[in-house]
Structure formats: C-alpha cells, structure tokens
Amino acid sequence: MQRHLASSKIRLPDCYQCQYNRRQDRCNHNCICAPSFPISRESRGSAGRRFEMATVNTVLGTIDSSEMGFTLPHEHLIDSSAGIRISYGELELRDRAFDMAVEDFGKAKAGGVHTVIEVSPMDLGRDVALMKQVSEATGVNFICCTGCWLDIPRSFWWRDKDFIADLWVREVEEGIDGTDIKAGIIKVATSDPITEHEELMLRASARTHLRTGIPITTHTPPMSRIGERQVKILTEEGVEPQNIYVGHINQTLDPDYHRELARLGVWLGWDINNAFGRPHLPPWEQRAEYLKNLLDEGIESNMMLSHDWNVVL
C-alpha cells in the first residue's frame, strides 16, 4: 500500500515503505532499502554499475549496516577551521576536547545512541584521529566525511569537478590525512543563491558518489528553499534522490518546501534541535508542533532527526 501525505496527496516513492518497515533487505518493488541511515545497499553509477553497501566505513573500520543501530545523522565533534590544529593548536584545547567528547558521547551511548555521523569536513577542522580515540573510549561508531563546507579552498576554485572528486574518492577508498580511516559520507554546503564555486562542489560530490556509492549530506542556510536547487544539481549529475540528505530543513517552517522535498524522494534533515547561538530559529515548542504535523501527514518515513551539536568550538 502506498503511503500518502494527507493534505497534499503526494505519493512517496515505493522504497520508503520498505525503509519504514525495515524488515527486509529488498522489497517487492525492487527498490533500494537501507536500515537506519541513508546509505543505500545499492546505488547505480553513471556507467550502470551497482555498488553493494552492506558495509559502512567508520573510523574504526567497516561495519555491517545492520550494526549501526540508533543513529544521529548530523553532529560535530570539533567545529573549527582548516589548519587551526597545526598553526594554533592551543585554540582547540585537544586534551579537553577529548574529555568533553568522551563525557558527552558516553552519555549518548548510555541513552541508546549507537552511531554518529560526524559531518565536519576538512574546512571545518576535521580530526579523524580524535574521532577514533573517542570511538574507542565510548563504543560509539563514528562515520566521518569527505567533501567541503562553505570555506572552499582557493586551490579548488579553478579545478574541475573530476579533479576534486579524485581527491574525495581517495579519502573514501584509501584514507584521510595519511591514515587508513575512510570517509563514509560526502558533505557539501551552499549559500542562497548558490555560488559558482559551491555549484562546483555539488557536482564534485555527485561524481564522488557515483564512483563510490556513499551518500551525500548537504548544508542549507536559514530561511531558504535552496535544498530544491541542490537536489536538482545533484540529480542532473546522476545521483538518485534516495542517496541525498538535505540538511537543516527546520530552519524554515515552510510546509510547501518540506512537502516538495518529500515528493522529490530525498531524506529530510530535521537536524537543528538546539537553540544555542541560533536566534533565527522559532521557539522549540513551535518547531516540535510543526514537526508533529508533518509526521501526521506521512513524511516520517524519509525524515531524520539530529541536533547539529558541536562538542567543542
């Protein structure tokens, strides 16, 4: 039976029935199913190849996707800038960061969280060695990312999308920063409107996905419907919607926007559930009531909740 959005009568893709049920690896509709997180078991590349995704890259190695358990899809361990750790290491207070992270993620583990998607790419101060230490200390799986946030390196500005994709594919298949820690997701971010360089990052992320099969997670700005444009660019490059997670959608309470994203078949990232430092957000009570209304319409099967929390800035 198809699931529908009650008020708009938008029919969700068949595969979200199976994602909602989560009882079988492949459904009667021959769709793509993935337990707990938007990593497809199979993803079709531009050459028609299929990528098996029974395993997921974590900072401690690969695990079966069935081992992910309760997953937070958008969090940060350290939210910093590229090069800070090398040039001004005292600003990161790394020892204190480790202690704080172990305390916070230890509490999360005790509360039932089993896996965290850490979406800080290189330009947000990604520290895969620290993630590994925290994962070992707490038992929480960490999935780290390749890709780029808004601080796009100048060295990327005049490169083409395939050159950049080569760099990101290496982080998925070989490792990051000279380690054997491999990325499990691609992070990309845009403003509104999308700049020329941001579009380049989107298209490079699509090429990376098509070559590796790992999914794409996006950052969107407040009070914007730019997620629709992000999806258009990614799908133009051949990415299937179920491999796209549009982040921060709850920075705007626009039901038409959210219904359209659901209609497109992407994952909806309702992932800013704290108010610290975010005066533009509506009160949490209003956001919670709005979310309940969306869920009542039937969007729950492709909605994901998280916090976008930073343990250390």
Quick one: average pLDDT of 84-99? 78
Task: Share the mean pLDDT of the chain.
Answer: 84
Kindly state whether residue 5 falls inside one of the protein's structural domains: no
Kindly state whether residue 308 falls inside one of the protein's structural domains: yes
Kindly state whether residue 197 falls inside one of the protein's structural domains: yes
Kindly state whether residue 1 falls inside one of the protein's structural domains: no
**pTM above 0.85?**
no
Kindly state whether residue 8 falls inside one of the protein's structural domains: no
Write out pLDDT tens, residues 161-219: 999 999 999 999 999 999 999 999 999 999 999 999 999 999 999 999 999 999 999 99
What is the CA 295 to chain-centroid distance, rounded?
21
Do residues 148 and 187 make contact, with C-beta atoms less than 8 angstroms apart?
Answer: yes
What is the structure's pLDDT at 14? 38
Write out pLDDT tens, residues 6-48: 333 333 333 333 443 333 343 333 333 333 344 434 444 433 4
Kindly state whether residue 4 falls inside one of the protein's structural domains: no
Instruction: Give me the domain span that covers residue 164.
Output: 15-312
Q: How many domains does the chain have?
A: 1
Kindly state whether residue 143 falls inside one of the protein's structural domains: yes
Please give the C-alpha separations between residue 280 and each of 219, 269, 275, 277, 304, in angstroms, as whole numbers: 16, 18, 9, 9, 21
Write out pLDDT tens, residues 240-267: 999 999 999 999 999 999 999 999 999 9
Kindly state whether residue 166 falls inside one of the protein's structural domains: yes
Residue 308 is part of a domain; what is its CATH number?
A: 3.20.20.140
